[in-house]
Every structure is written in C-alpha cells, then in structure tokens.
C-alpha cells in the first residue's frame, strides 16, 4: 500500500530519464486559477527540457477546480498506473460557505441569482445541521461540472443555457467540523469520499439551514495520508526543474 513517504519531494536529485520512467509520485500545492492539467503541463514540459526527451507520461490523481487551491498528486512514468487507486482515497478540505445567497454554479464563477433571509441562522444551528450530513448521502452534482451528459460536458451545456438534469450519486462525509462563522460565512473542515462536490455541499448546507448557500473558498488539505504541508509549491517545482536541467548538462 502506498504511504506518504513514497512521494518524491526533490526532482532535482534525479538526473536520468530512467529515474522518472520507472515511476515517481509528487505532491504539489496547486495555486488558485490554475487547473490541475496546468500543473501536469508544467511538470511534463520541465521534464522534457531537463532530460532532453520527447515523451514522458505525467498525470494527476484527481481534479481540483481552478477556484480552489491545495493538494494534487502528480504521477510520473510508470507511477501513472497508480492513478485509479489514488483517486479512491478520501479527501480533506477547508471550505468557506456564504449563507443567504445562491449562484447558478454554487461558487464564485457566476453572479448571485437569489438572496434569502439569514436572521435565524446561528453558529449553533450550523453545528447541529452538519451532524445530518455525516455518513452516506445522495448528492446532486453541479450543472457547472465536467460530468458528461449525452457526450457533452455539463458546464458547456449550462453556459449555453441548455436545460438538463443531473443524476444524484452516493457520496460519504466522514467528518465535518465548523472552524469559524462570521458575517454569514462558515469555514468548515470536510473529510469526504471520492466524487464529492463541495460546491453541492455548499448548496445543500444553505438549504438545510432554510436559506441559500454557495462556495466562496476551497482548499484541499489532504488526500488519504498525503498532506498539503508536505507538498511543493509551483515555485518549488520550477526551481527543481531548472536544477534538473543543470544536473543533466553536468552529468
């Protein structure tokens, strides 16, 4: 079984294509406004330049939205065979949910469409409602998501104003903890299963407190035993890629 110490934390220490082809896994702290595939492209291009090779497999073990930051697991070479297993690991997030309003995308991608009363919402009520989410739940994914409907991406259909329905799916919330509540914005630590949409959770939390809700911030802090505090920043990745290139020229 893969453990946290199986992840590589310094690519610059490796200077042969075979070191990567045999398989390496890397923890990266994805910044806001980057897609998970942006990180893939950054690492793949850096390895090609640094190792002077044309092809190398690089993939990620679970998408993180551009409006979210935090942990992504990158798999290189033969380690890409681990992706399916890694994607099944539970995830941990810190989410910020604004109550009293909704947006069509359930996050900041779209403008507010409805407002609701909030005078009845208290910290105690939120804590009580969170208990009802624990365990297995049926969750309806956002229409603004990459799920395919009849061969089309749901977010493309939503942005074009097409009418369609999303099917509910089983997800599991292993743990929920209210970390703070101020100005009708709740900060919540969420431990959940593969396939959980935190944007849908924000919508459902708003409904559960008899109001509205949407996601205003999201950071993934863990995937299984892997923690974001042990991940490389994009700047770290860039520095290591440059060092890798220099090492290859010297070797």
Residue 128 near residue 209, CB atoms below 8 Å: no
Residue 197 near residue 93, CB atoms below 8 Å: no
Q: Where are the beta strands (DSSP E) in the chain?
A: 24-30, 58-60, 69-76, 91-99, 101-102, 114-115, 135-139, 148-149, 152-153, 169-182, 185-192, 213-223, 226-227
Distance CA 127, CA 124 (A): 5
**Taking Cα atoms as reference points, which of 96, 178, 104, 102 lies closest to residue 134?**
178
Query: Would you call 84 a catalytic residue per the annotation?
Result: no
Q: At 203, phi and psi to the nearest 5?
A: -60, -45
Q: Where are the beta strands (DSSP E) in 7-165?
A: 24-30, 58-60, 69-76, 91-99, 101-102, 114-115, 135-139, 148-149, 152-153
Q: Encoding tokens for residue 224?
A: 């299984």
Q: Which of 29, 65, 107, 204 is catalytic?
A: 65
Q: Which residues are catalytic?
A: 65
């Amino acid at each position: 079984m893969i453990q946290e110490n199986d992840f590589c934390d310094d690519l610059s220490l490796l200077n042969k294509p075979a070191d990567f082809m045999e398989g390496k896994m890397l923890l990266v702290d994805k910044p806001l406004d980057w897609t998970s595939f942006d990180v893939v492209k950054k690492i793949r291009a850096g390895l090609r330049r640094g190792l002077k090779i044309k092809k190398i497999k690089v993939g990620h073990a679970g998408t993180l939205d551009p409006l979210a930051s935090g942990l992504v697991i990158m798999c290189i070479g033969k380690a890409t065979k681990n992706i399916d297993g890694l994607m099944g690991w539970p995830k941990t997030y810190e989410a910020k949910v604004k109550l009293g309003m909704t947006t069509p995308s359930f996050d900041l991608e779209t403008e507010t469409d409805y407002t609701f009363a909030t005078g009845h919402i208290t910290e105690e009520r939120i804590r009580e409602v969170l208990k009802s989410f624990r365990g297995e739940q049926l969750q309806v994914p956002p229409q603004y998501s990459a799920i395919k409907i009849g061969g089309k991406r749901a977010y493309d259909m939503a942005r074009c104003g097409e009418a369609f329905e999303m099917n509910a799916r089983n997800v599991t919330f292993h743990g929920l903890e209210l970390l703070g509540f101020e100005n009708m914005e709740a900060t919540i630590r969420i431990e959940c299963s593969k396939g959980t949409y935190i944007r849908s959770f924000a919508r459902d939390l708003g409904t559960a407190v008899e109001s509205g809700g949407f996601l205003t911030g999201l950071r993934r802090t863990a995937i299984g035993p892997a923690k974001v505090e042990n991940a490389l920043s994009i700047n770290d990745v860039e520095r290591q890629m440059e060092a890798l290139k220099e090492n290859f020229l010297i070797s």
